[in-house]
A = this chain, B = another copy of it.
């Protein structure tokens, strides 16, 4: 795989206005006043399309911007020298990618599109400048970063202390909630990632993920058809989580 040079900026150099975006409630502007949001419009750089399996950025790329997912979805991952991969997260519309790069001015993980996707480029220098002027933006950005830390703690809990079926139940419940927040069905959705990627995220092998899916189906918790999931008994899934070691 040849390393992509910089972005061959495609024709759609269209800027996106936060003030007119229907993802406001899920994205950086969440909770800001209309007036403050208007000030964001100058902040967002061009959009960028990323095709399925293409990288938005790679480990080592110099850090210049963070990205807000507009359409599609991504995974972020880190690699060990021997090729082992750890997926650190899946990102959907409205979510922010790239915060890892701030610490060293270079990205420390890879971001790969799971499907043809579309992001808003938020030049970081501009974001810092504007958030010195717009208090609500500053505060909102801090919340976004903190939320990422809290999310990571949740994943650490999952990886460190849960068994396979608990992990997968937590994953499904989380996906369901995020689809719901985006106006999709809470009970029926299409996973964009493979069993192997789910497994990497959950610290499991793909066979184990597959078996857990099958078990859930046998137990009437869900219906699985490849990547299409229908949750039949959400209560049952949640019970898997809060359960004492299943006496």
Contacts and interface: CB of A to CB of B under 8 A. Distances in A.
A245 B133 CA distance: 52
A7 interface: no
A147 interface: yes
Interface in A111-169: 128, 131-133, 135, 138-139, 142-143, 145-150, 152-157, 159-161
Contact of A146 (B84, B145, B153, B159): B145
A128 B138 contact: yes
For chain A, the bracket of interface size reads 35 or more
B102 A161 contact: no
Interface in A63-96: 78, 80-82, 84-86, 88
A32 interface: no
Mostly helix, strand, loop or mixed at chain A's interface?
Answer: helix
Given A82-B245, A145-B102, A161 B128 contact: no
Contacts of A243: 82
A203 interface: yes
A154 to B, nearest CB: 8
Contacts of A80: 157, 161
A199 to B, nearest CB: 9
A100 B203 contact: no
Contact of A100 (B78, B150, B202): B150
B147 A78 contact: no
A157 B102 contact: no
A16 interface: no
A242 interface: yes
Interface of A: 78, 80-82, 84-86, 88, 99-104, 108-109, 128, 131-133, 135, 138-139, 142-143, 145-150, 152-157, 159-161, 200-203, 242-245
